[in-house]
Structure 1
Amino acid sequence: MRTKPELSADIHRGRRAALVVNARSRRGRQHYQRTLSRLRAAGFDLLGAYPVDRPGQLERSLREAVDLGPDLLVAGGGDGTLSTAARLLAHRDMALGLLPLGTTNNFARTIGVPLDLDGAVDVLSRGKVIDVDLGLAGDTPFANHVGVGLSADIMLRTPPRLKRAVGRLAYPLTALALLARHRPLRATVRVDGVAHEFVTHQLFVANGGFHAGRRITADADADDRLLVAYPVGGPTRRGLLADTARNATTGHRRTLGDTPFLAVGELWLETDRPARVEVDGELCGHTPIRLGLDANALRVMAPADSLDR
């Protein structure tokens, strides 16, 4: 494995890259050709370019891109796309480049990558390689979060056409439609032999610093060796709505020491009935589930002034 400065230097000098864009993401289809043009104008030697427009094709295209042996694998799409790329690149001598073309772009926000195409390409061209943690949901790595409760039902029910039409507003619109018949869960988070119980419609466990395009807390990020578990609201639907609004407007002012956040390295999550689990926006099994960390598992291209622990 090269050191991070060595890999950064090789990317800047050789510009050997491969590109995979999820053309089914909200902005992927319209930006694929622009992305090709911007990367070539920045001097990148594209060993391969893959527009993904069919279900089931993404992971195969990412694996083909990895097999080309680039120094930088550029992935364009939403958080699900970038999380899939992160899983495949974990512990490889290769950096992940982020093109945030999705709905909420939580991972790109956490890393500090601009959400506009030109800004993101500039990070690929002028940035540096850092390493960040990945979470583990059972044996499945994740970049951003695990959700249990309403969010998993939202992932199952939100129409792709609605996401493309209204962006991240698609999720609260779907939530409102589902909430009338949603039952709260009794969730137990076990940490070092201590049980923390919550009765809630929604519980998240985050690896990164953003959720739904908003800050979780001012001091949470993807390189702090911590997972952050927190319920959203209590047993009532009104409490869920109030807490959702509060989180969206005050996250940048809150810290990991505030209630109700649990900042831990590992936990066991169980619920009073089997509940769907969504991992970075993709359904992935049911509770109970162990959640942990894979520290410094992923190398990613970040802005040149990024901190790297």
Structure 2
Amino acid sequence: MRTKQQLTEDIRRERRAVLVVNARSRRGRQLYADAHARLVAAGFELLGAYAVERDLEKSLADAIAQEPDLLVAGGGDGTISTAGRMLAHRDIALGLLPLGTTNNFARTVGIQPSLDKAVATLVDGAVIDVDLGVAGDMPFTNHVGAGLSAEVMINAPSRLKRVIGRLAYPITALGLLTRHRPLRVTVRADGVEQVFLTHQVYVANGGFHAGRPITADAHADDRLLVAYPVGGATRRELLRETARNALTGHRRTLHERPFLAVGELWLETDRPAHVEVDGEPCGRTPLRIALDANALRIMAPPGTPDH
């Protein structure tokens, strides 16, 4: 493995890259050609370029086989999470083109959903190491959700997401909420057990959810997972806490209730609950969630903290 500085220098000097864009993501289809042209104009030698309609993992595997210094992945959080999982502990940096609905992981590492700014990061940025979470045996970049969010991910229509973006999720959630029963959730970590009734629980590796900050001090390179319920047993509490999180997350800290910041935890529910990992359905509870520290190399904007 090269050092981060060596890999950064090689990317800047050689410009050897592969482009993989999920053409099913909200903006992927229309921006693939634009992204391709911008990378070429920036001097990148594209060893391969893939506009993926299906079988993302195969395209990513083909891209990795080209042995680039930089794999540029365009799409939403599910695409980025898949690319991150496949690049874990490899001597290849992940470049992000945030083309999805919420772009949580890109926001966590300071990349705004602008193609111009994302390409500028690939040109002028530097390689840093960030943590991955591991849900069961599934690595992830941003978060695990159990309860209503997983039901939403399973049921939210793809066409609706393309048309109205992130609003597709609350609209779908409101339709499901009328018949969703709260869960009795048990979180075990560091010898402590916490139990609460809620419709929704998250475990975050990154610092953003639904395009908004979780807290002011959560990020993807702090060796911490952040577990937290959203509201209590009533639907009103869920809606109120969801709104509060969206409006005040940038002012809250990991030391406040109900956040639990740990390196590893065990998540149980009183009945098997669907789980989503970075927006993709991924089994059911119970589930062990842990950290894989400094597992992923990414191209980040200049000055991004790297611990």
Task: Please report the TM-score for the alignment, with normalisation by the length of structure 1.
Answer: 0.99
SS of equivalent residue, structure 1 residue 69? coil
Corresponding position of 1:270: 268
SS of equivalent residue, structure 1 residue 46? strand
Map 1:183-262 → 2, pairs under 5 A: 183-262=181-260
Deviation at 1:115, TM superposition (A): 1.1
- Measured against aligned partners, the alpha-carbon deviations of 1:150-173 in whole angstroms (never above 9, x if no partner) come to 000000000000000000000000
Deviation at 1:14, TM superposition (A): 0.2
SS of equivalent residue, structure 1 residue 125? helix
Q: Does 1:83 align with 2:81?
A: yes
Which segments of structure 1 move beyond 3 Å, counting only runs of 4 or more? none
SS of equivalent residue, structure 2 residue 197? strand
Residue type of the alignment partner of 1:308: D
SS of equivalent residue, structure 1 residue 308? coil
Residue type of the alignment partner of 1:95: A
Corresponding position of 2:45: 45
- Measured against aligned partners, the alpha-carbon deviations of 1:170-217 in whole angstroms (never above 9, x if no partner) come to 000000010000000000000122210010000000000000000000
Taking the aligned partners of 1:13 and 1:304, their CA distance within structure 2 comes to 17
Deviation at 1:112, TM superposition (A): 0.5
Corresponding position of 2:135: 137
Taking the aligned partners of 2:43 and 2:243, their CA distance within structure 1 comes to 44
Q: Which moved more, 1:81-90 or 1:189-198?
A: 189-198
Taking the aligned partners of 2:279 and 2:93, their CA distance within structure 1 comes to 23
Pairwise CA RMSD: 0.5
Deviation at 1:114, TM superposition (A): 2.3
Corresponding position of 1:10: 10
Residue type of the alignment partner of 1:222: A
Map 1:26-45 → 2, pairs under 5 A: 26-45=26-45
Task: Please report the TM-score for the alignment, with normalisation by the length of structure 2.
Answer: 1.00
Taking the aligned partners of 2:16 and 2:88, their CA distance within structure 1 comes to 19
Corresponding position of 2:150: 152
- Measured against aligned partners, the alpha-carbon deviations of 1:60-115 in whole angstroms (never above 9, x if no partner) come to 00000000000000000000000000000000001000000000000000011121
Calculate percent identity across the aligned residue pairs.
72
Q: Can you give the 5+ residue segments of structure 1 that lack an aligned partner in the other structure?
A: none
Taking the aligned partners of 1:77 and 1:7, their CA distance within structure 2 comes to 24
Residue type of the alignment partner of 2:202: F
Q: Can you give the 5+ residue segments of structure 2 that lack an aligned partner in the other structure?
A: none
**Maintained 8 Å contact 2:190/2:262:** no
